[in-house]
Structure 1
């Protein structure tokens, strides 16, 4: 399926900090200090390594002291500024959940506190979960036992999806039509694999082989836990792995799918059905509650042609084994401890995480993912102030005006394309903190003593909600993240930038911080999300979110030429032994980092602090700005996690997110007196300038 949201971080956490705006910009809303706390050191030299020249390794110079003192905790795969803020938010959520779960049983049935509290309590009721073993999934396994032919297999794929057991083989969703953004349409996408990326199946290096063996071991373990003999489980593992290998070969790469035109393939249902004669979409779609659709979007048509042939050529007995595996794999983390341990052993082999995340943290994440806008109301009420929201609105407007000025000054872009770029910028929708209209999750019944039943009920509700959108007006007020989330995103089809409440904290957002800290933190994040509207993917969507070309051919070529320079810069970065950053996969995020930091710096340069040239904590204003940027990305990770991210994450590793953008900014060279001979030095004519 195509990815609709472009994040500041992926599978990580963000925090923000802002205080004063440009002197000629909007005025901030001041928050009162609650206590006379000791002054915070927003830039602490103890966290730096002053023995390293900033021009040799700015990431190490800014963060080396902290990195020496902080190993990756056993329950984490990486540890840094994002993770620390995320942990703080998790602790806040656990506190809220512990409190509400104590009284939820006495709350009115269906109320916010009853459902949130009882959902958390059901997940923490390990005695009941342990006693039930894998009983909760036996109805699905019994259904699979009764399958007799290929039609039964396809019917089972549909049944599991509609009844809360997940999406086997292929992806299905209802989303906006990229070329008619005011309509919802059915989307089909590739699937079928359980390793993080198709390349894990297709490569034969030591890391890939380790991942392949870990997957086979998981398959054997889960089948053994449900009654298969050792020999039978081993045979099942071979069958499952070979099927997944075939699906992996049929998948498009992540780099190929970065082009939204590649994944926009619209078919009449009748025409697409001719390409997949065994997958009769005219019957499947109504069974999926999608009604009688005349057209669908298929992200990877060749994958479905392969799947149709594979399903027809594979013995039904083998397909039944795969279906059992799908149920076991999806449910393992929610069953008794033997299943949970097996799932963690698999993920640990891939990520390097040494001990499992504590159950209370996993269950707080489960509630947030399940009833996030109910839990979010409790979070916002206690931890997010209206002043912070007003402050962010003003700062976004400030950065937006700065980006507009930069677009007007672009020497490589024609007036016609500039006019359209400014039109798109001015059409941005901005969402901050939390939704204006909270989702009520009407119809979800939560029982305190039925964890797996609750999980299934939530999955069914989400599925039904998704398909119910067909034929209705597009609701652009909805959010793609919950309020406690430590992240931010840009959504091209809505042309919107979104900043949940969870991210609006230090090291990005702090009422008491100086301009340099705040602009280097949240200012760069705001600029990052704005730039996503003009990165290699976002630039292909126009002001109303439609996938439509608004560039002159000459301007598009000039943009691509500059973007290719960014690809080359990041391709040169080595992460582990032979592994390099994938400049094409990470291009959008790298462009957003480069643009966001430039926008934030220009806005900062107008502030009284920047113009004063006064030191604070021993650093000049411009130095504090860039050090703030660097400490945002302070992070260490396990080698396994680093290797996995290179294949799967569109974001570059943190040290390169720190170092690469600054080497393209003249102000950084001046701030730290970076000269020829320094390892990060680039000649002025080599510095990449885009937005």
Structure 2
């Protein structure tokens, strides 16, 4: 996953781009299976750690469908739970992690003697306030009333702009997103950034598509708004009119928004102008007053992500009536905190999400609140998690793996056959400058200025959002904080951050089955190693390659090399465009380009690292088999088993429309179909379904 800077310091880890393929090298000691018959385990081989042989579907030929072969029985025996939209190994690890975090949180909530202002007090009080549904239902909308009153009391355009600032600081993100993040073309300083936003549906496409499935989602969206307005005391007929008003305004915003594919162009999203120029172009929005209200008045420049979108925001504020704009603000305020309000509000929000994901019921409340606590106070109780779940030995092993993979990537760059010497030198410079963060921050976030009590869950959430917005604004003008993390320690994920040129792996991801110190090298390299290679090569995918060794958005490629990269990446795009998991639904090869390239390159680079590790360990001697599989076969099985996923059709359609990651089955087989290493490991003859013809293969690095 790649952290995308345009989300303005919200530290949202978004789908990243990036990867490279490498010139294939033949695996040593690969399987000598000559036929494409299903691979059978042989009795004399010892049992390995990390793969459950019962999960394999040996009735399927691995050379025909490796996704089914590697995990068909697991897929059959692990249907999606009623409260989930998809299900895979990450969910199982998530359950284990949540059980540990739940104990930490419940212990903190039970401790009424924690020192006032301490992390323990804040974590315990936050969790206790959120779990007290009796108090939440009894309080009704009262905790939100001061904010609702502010919206109701808007009497002028000036009042409206003041309230836009307030709602931006409270995380409602009305009309657009705003914040402070690293300047992508001058990464030694922070910049104020404005980015498109302000809509409820997942992206702009949902407002204009008219197929039956999209219309079902839009009907749920309208019902959600109507129900919430009704809960706020609006008469039924007026509630329907208010919902229509919100949809009309959001449709204007959606029409002016860039598509998900267009948003993948970092150069197009970088439009720096002086605040004075922005003020002249968007006078009704009043950027100067907006920034002053957000405590960013000293900014002289601002980066506008999508200038034409802000033209429409400016026009909308001028042409829409004040009452209609107030309806829009009211909706987004309540929607942003629906989960903190009485049960009917949370249930209304869930009904809408059902249309998007297909989930049958809500997750248990403690799981939802654990996720919320992680979101707002993640580093406070993340410290307790690290103490219990992540050893110094595990960190050392992970760092060793990253070092080996980095060395393999350097070799792939050096031996690349189509890249010129100047571009190779820049690529190696970038790789050598890559920063690696493992486990948890060196410097923990300081929550001392954030007030948290047991009085109200909604008030705690609003306080946490306001605190985070002002903490972010305070960074402007100061030195870049390179100790900051965009994910909390328990997070089961990882990311690459282009302007910081760093890869980050939280402790939550460095757990079995993704990382197991007891497993053999092939398992760890195929699992967490694949993730490490994926994140590392994000720096060289179609987006990441546009940033240099210092993280600046700068073209360091020769024109010929850039053109050759684009040509080779286009092969990957066409391959994924052809994948169709549902009738009339195809993967979007452009939207998923970066993640696919990161899978391609990462898997190839990490394979090279594993081969070096095996050579060091066993030399030219025999390499042990476990469960009847060679290390090379176990490497590919490990990669595949961690991407097996059952997913509801509704969620799959939404993923393809909005997510830069391809569905699990194609992340599994897409890269392997291009790798001679896979073909040799499983002895797949030419013409097998899993094997592309040499002329059709995608080869980048």
| Paired residues for 1:243-642 under 5 Å | 243-606=249-612, 607=614, 608=617, 612-642=622-652
How far apart are 1:8 and its partner, in Å?
9.3
Match of 1:150 among 143, 154, 157: 157
How far apart are 1:542 and its partner, in Å?
0.4
Query: For residues 14 and 238 of structure 2, what CA distance do their matches in structure 1 show?
Result: 45
TM value normalised by structure 1: 0.94
CA offsets 1:404-461 (integer angstroms, 9 cap, x no match): 0111000010011101100100001010000111112121121123211111111111
Root mean square deviation, CA, Å: 1.7
Query: For residues 335 and 609 of structure 2, what CA distance do their matches in structure 1 show?
Result: 49
How far apart are 1:298 and its partner, in Å?
0.4
Where does the alignment leave 5 or more consecutive residues of structure 1 unmatched?
Answer: 11-21, 23-37
Query: For residues 575 and 152 of structure 1, what CA distance do their matches in structure 2 show?
Result: 50
1:119 paired with 2:132, answer: no
Query: For residues 609 and 51 of structure 1, what CA distance do their matches in structure 2 show?
Result: 33
Match of 2:174 among 145, 164, 168: 168
Where does the alignment leave 5 or more consecutive residues of structure 2 unmatched?
Answer: 17-27, 29-45
Going from structure 1 to structure 2, the CA distance change for 1:610 and 1:44 (only over 3 Å counts) comes to farther
Question: Could you say what secondary structure the match of 1:580 adopts?
Answer: coil
Match of 1:109 among 113, 116, 131: 116
CA contact (8 A) 2:7 2:177 kept: no
Query: For residues 539 and 570 of structure 2, what CA distance do their matches in structure 1 show?
Result: 18
Query: For residues 287 and 185 of structure 1, what CA distance do their matches in structure 2 show?
Result: 16
Query: For residues 202 and 678 of structure 1, what CA distance do their matches in structure 2 show?
Result: 41
Q: Which has the higher contact order (CA 8 A, sep 6+)?
A: 2
CA contact (8 A) 1:8 1:487 kept: no
Query: For residues 127 and 532 of structure 1, what CA distance do their matches in structure 2 show?
Result: 47
How far apart are 1:330 and its partner, in Å?
1.2
Match of 1:62 among 64, 70, 78: 70
Query: For residues 632 and 299 of structure 2, what CA distance do their matches in structure 1 show?
Result: 57
CA contact (8 A) 2:644 2:664 kept: yes
Query: For residues 41 and 539 of structure 1, what CA distance do their matches in structure 2 show?
Result: 37
How far apart are 1:64 and its partner, in Å?
0.3
Match of 1:51 among 59, 64, 74: 59
CA contact (8 A) 2:80 2:648 kept: yes
Query: For residues 168 and 8 of structure 1, what CA distance do their matches in structure 2 show?
Result: 20
CA offsets 1:578-617 (integer angstroms, 9 cap, x no match): 1111100111100000111101111111213696243210
CA contact (8 A) 2:268 2:305 kept: yes
4+ runs deviating over 3 angstroms: 3-10, 38-41, 608-611
Query: For residues 481 and 252 of structure 2, what CA distance do their matches in structure 1 show?
Result: 38
1:679 paired with 2:683, answer: no
Going from structure 1 to structure 2, the CA distance change for 1:91 and 1:328 (only over 3 Å counts) comes to same
How far apart are 1:292 and its partner, in Å?
3.0
Question: Could you say what secondary structure the match of 1:182 adopts?
Answer: coil
CA contact (8 A) 1:8 1:525 kept: no
1:205 paired with 2:211, answer: yes
Q: Which residue of 1 aligns with 2:23?
A: none
CA contact (8 A) 1:7 1:487 kept: no
Moved more, 171-180 or 440-449: 440-449
Q: Which residue of 1 aligns with 2:35?
A: none
Query: For residues 619 and 339 of structure 2, what CA distance do their matches in structure 1 show?
Result: 51
Q: Which residue of 2 aligns with 1:644?
A: 654
How far apart are 1:41 and its partner, in Å?
4.5
How far apart are 1:235 and its partner, in Å?
0.7
